[in-house]
Amino acid sequence: MASCNSVLFLLLLFMLLTINSFNITAQESKISLSFPLTSVPLSKTFASKAKFLSSLVMSSRSNQTRRLHRKNAAPSSSPPFNYNYKSSFKYSMALIVSLPIGTPPQAQQMVLDTGSQLSWIQCHRKSPRKPPPTTSFDPSLSSSFSVLPCDHPVCKPRIPDFTLPTTCDQNRLCHYSYFYVDGTLAEGNLVRERFTFSRSRTTSPLILGCVAEPGEAEGILGMNLGRLSFVSQAKVPRFSYCVPVRQPRAKINPTGTFYLGHNPNSPTFKYINMLTFPQSQRMPNFDALAYTVSMVGIKIGGKKLNISEAAFWPDAGGSGQTMVDSGTQYTFLVDAAYAKVREHVVRVAGTKLKKDYAYGDALDMCFDGNVKEVARLIGDMVFQFEKGVEILINKERVMDHMGGGVHCVAIGRSESLGIASNIIGNFHQRNLWVEFDIVNRRLGFGVADCSRSML
């Protein structure tokens, strides 16, 4: 990932999974699996990098690796994903899901990230003298695990649009490196392993990253449109999630729902098309693997802001792209759009602004004092898309509590992160079903109470 000059802290994450039960139910001749979970603190090393992004802005955002195209399809050996998987997840500031990996399966906690490609897990061989993290994957216990050698086609540098810098290590195995926007390095070996949803429902061996360094994050489930993402390799036709609202002062993080494949709630969704661009059209600031949508405006307090639709559409260099990302916490806008949002906030609540203050060098519409009064002054916010589809953010959910009584409007200037895109983060996806329909190249939204038990 490209480095960034601004100081970024990654999201403070609190959650791990404990499988309490295992259910298999038949639905439309397909299989649905359900795994309840509970939460415990994550690794302190990862938590110390707290901030807004999980992994959207990484090496795939650099000029060299932005030149990606969907012509690199998933391996043809992978069968269609013709079964369903349902999982609960705990939400603090990132979406943590658990997937069964290996033969027999080992439950692995992973950050659900629609902004990145490569999935990776911690890999540690169990040793009584030096116990690994409790969530790590033990390759020696899986009969389907294998490591990619240097001569594997994926590891060869002649592939011009491959997103991972790879080298041969001293054992002639394929080694990769991933740089995140805050300078964090994730590196390890590329491996092949199955996802085992049941005895009769497994994927073909998929290419993953296997990180052996202690203290790394629990893992990433890369879900963008890249050829090495979980979605592409497993040929998942659609997936969806429902992000719950965190209650103030709640000690337990709320539980959300995650589907791979069919979602029984989809008949109620409203859909917008994903934007596609010619493969020959290479734009240095454009991420061709992101879920890009056509946003047309923003309303606040019932009034549409005077923002040109061009601010939400990629220009000749790719700047202005609007994407939906589960791995970014807050929403970030390009200057032309952000300035109008801030202009409204200053006009209606400027006297209450916390002067000369910016949370994390990125959010600068912050307030002390009576948050309900400020929220009333600002009003409800609406993100507008094509076909009249809207995402409504109630005034009570426009701001987030940053600690110490400070609340900030959960929108920042994207240039403060060193990028030139509009990003709708998971904070503004709460109490929504968000479906990524890969087959029909569209995104669906459905209003829901995501903290309740879902079908």
Residues that are catalytic: 113, 325
Give the type of residue at 394: N
DSSP string, 28-73: TTEEEEEE--------HHHHTT-BSBSSSSBGGGSTTTS---TTSP
Helix 371-378 vs helix 335-349: angle between axes, to the nearest 10 degrees? Answer: 120
17's CB contacts (< 8 A; 6+ apart) are 35, 37, 38, 39, 89, 90, 96, 98, 107, 109
> Which of 114, 192, 182, 180 is CA-nearest to residue 148?
192
User: How, if at all, do strands 146-147 and 185-193 pair?
Assistant: antiparallel
- In whole angstroms, how far apart are CA 103 and each of 16, 20, 139, 291? 21, 20, 10, 32
DSSP string, 348-364: HHGGGB-TT--BTTTB-
**Are the C-beta atoms of residues 301 and 371 closer than 8 Å to each other?**
no
